[in-house]
Chains A and B, each alone.
Chain A
């Protein structure tokens, strides 16, 4: 009886610790981040501003996303890219170019190529596994980003084959949004950085509205991603996630 009472008190105490200002475990923070980042369906109109070595280019696209596995993107601007489509189904990625009327599977070394000249690679785009499944996390302190209190998480890949061997995340304590990120190679070399400039509230969720993604090994000022509109839990026609539909 006495033992049961002690166990019950311990459980209540553990449940109350976060509310009392105690730091939750790194794993639980990462799970919250995953839950926040992978909703059901969404339709996004976005703008990508690529700051290259010489000049900057703006690319507009509309994406239909279902979970982490399915995504269809159609490029709207500039004219040269207009009509280019991309379809991601699980670990497969295809691109359709209207000028050639060809659907090409992007795989192997092509995955390391840049998406539309941006700092984002197809490999980055293909990343669909939850962070908590791919990385072991430990807390690395606290800091403020965008005047928001954040936990710093140090992630280490659980197994070989992850795109990045290690990551460092700055996670908003309240909204569980990643506000800053650094991605590292196995050697410890910094490869890419992400910096959220502003966030917005849409469909009852907080999402990064404006972020800068930078390939550190590449010259230029990085690539800005701006979400123009975002609609959650939208109904997405099934044909959009059909490879044959790319040519339509």
Chain B
């Protein structure tokens, strides 16, 4: 029976071409968009983790309470020992220390007087230890506009826009006015090693990056760090694994009192990222819903047109004694075949485009140059196993629903008037 229906569908193009094309286009868009949204999710998660949150972040409880203000007076101390113990206690992660700092960047004139001054906010990371991985994580080489990356603790990398607004460039001396770990004002000279474009509005307006040792010396934070970030060794965020690690770490310290005890947060626990990840998890369902409704309407319409065209055929089939239910079921069977064919074509096309975008990506740097959210400048698609099957849901459902609604007309045919209709 299936073979008979298949032959009918393939041989009668009027019956199949338009519905198959409709399904294929809808499925193609579903698959391609799903993979691209997955790519955005993975890209943003990785970018945010590398720049800001890590997959796990350890801070003191006092620091965590006001983490958005980067309160270095509540920083972790004896960080090397802490990182060593984290390596034993929470295996499977790489750990790095970071300091977020803020203050003013003061540019002297020839007499040492203030020529220009502006607020600055920055990241101190271990840029100088070979193998720390921080240069790669912060992706500084890609955005480097002028000069070089810092090669000494006394060097600082500032954003290109910031350097232009201050009228300085590589080789110029600047003074960082900030607060020490004890809250005292500190003045420290740095040399601008180069300028960089971060691709993130806040950092591009007033951002700087320096080596951890230089900032530790500047802020009187020897052996201390505001944050210790943990990254899965595979580099991909696993929400469940990170949650379990954080829960175990915090449970082991639950009975310890004190504001300066370390506490661990996952990427999803920080800055509302959990909501974002939940939302992105629903992306597949949202896409299916978006394409299912219009595709069903289009295919319903196609089914109605097909019914009109095949009005006579159905009449003959009913006249020679075929059951109305059987005619309806064969129509649904045909729709399933059309759905499968369209879905296969659409999925193949969608995956082909997605694999291409997975390797090449789309550069959206100019679009997000002034973005207030952390988004990577080049967004790649991400093909997941679910990407192979997601198209079948709207592809089959839409054709089935469309045909089921259109095919109801079969039951309205009056057997008594069939011969009269056929004679005319």
Residue ranges of A at the interface with B (Cβ–Cβ < 8 Å)? 50, 52-54, 57, 80-81, 95, 97, 99-105, 110, 113-118, 219, 247
Beta-carbon contact of A103 and B179 below 8 Å = no
Number of A-B contacts defined by CB within 8 Å: 63
How far in angstroms is the closest Cβ of chain A from B260?
A: 7
Could you say which residues of chain B place their CB within 8 Å of the CB of A110?
Answer: 104, 177, 185
A99-B187, A103-B112, A104-B187 given; A50·B182 CB < 8 A? yes
- From A50, A52, A104, A113, B114 is in contact (CB under 8 Å) with A104
Could you say which residues of chain A place their CB within 8 Å of the CB of B104?
Answer: 110
A227 to B220, CA, bound (A): 27
B148 interface hit (Cβ, 8 Å):
no
Beta-carbon contact of A102 and B189 below 8 Å = yes
Beta-carbon contact of A95 and B185 below 8 Å = yes
Could you say which residues of chain A place their CB within 8 Å of the CB of B114?
Answer: 104-105
Interface residues in B94-114 (C-beta closer than 8 Å to A): 104, 106, 108, 112-114
A242 to B180, CA, bound (A): 28
Beta-carbon contact of B185 and A113 below 8 Å = yes
Could you say which residues of chain B place their CB within 8 Å of the CB of A118?
Answer: 183
A114 to B259, CA, bound (A): 22
A103 to B208, CA, bound (A): 23
A54-B260, A80-B220, A113-B179 given; A102·B185 CB < 8 A? no
Beta-carbon contact of B106 and A104 below 8 Å = yes
Could you say which residues of chain B place their CB within 8 Å of the CB of A95?
Answer: 185, 187
Beta-carbon contact of A100 and B62 below 8 Å = no
B175 interface hit (Cβ, 8 Å):
yes
A52-B182, A53-B62, A116-B185 given; A104·B74 CB < 8 A? no
Could you say which residues of chain A place their CB within 8 Å of the CB of B183?
Answer: 50, 52, 114, 117-118
Beta-carbon contact of B260 and A114 below 8 Å = no
Could you say which residues of chain A place their CB within 8 Å of the CB of B112?
Answer: 101-103, 247
A95 to B157, CA, bound (A): 26
B161 interface hit (Cβ, 8 Å):
no
Beta-carbon contact of B185 and A53 below 8 Å = no
How far in angstroms is the closest Cβ of chain B from A246?
A: 10
B188 interface hit (Cβ, 8 Å):
yes
A213 to B413, CA, bound (A): 95
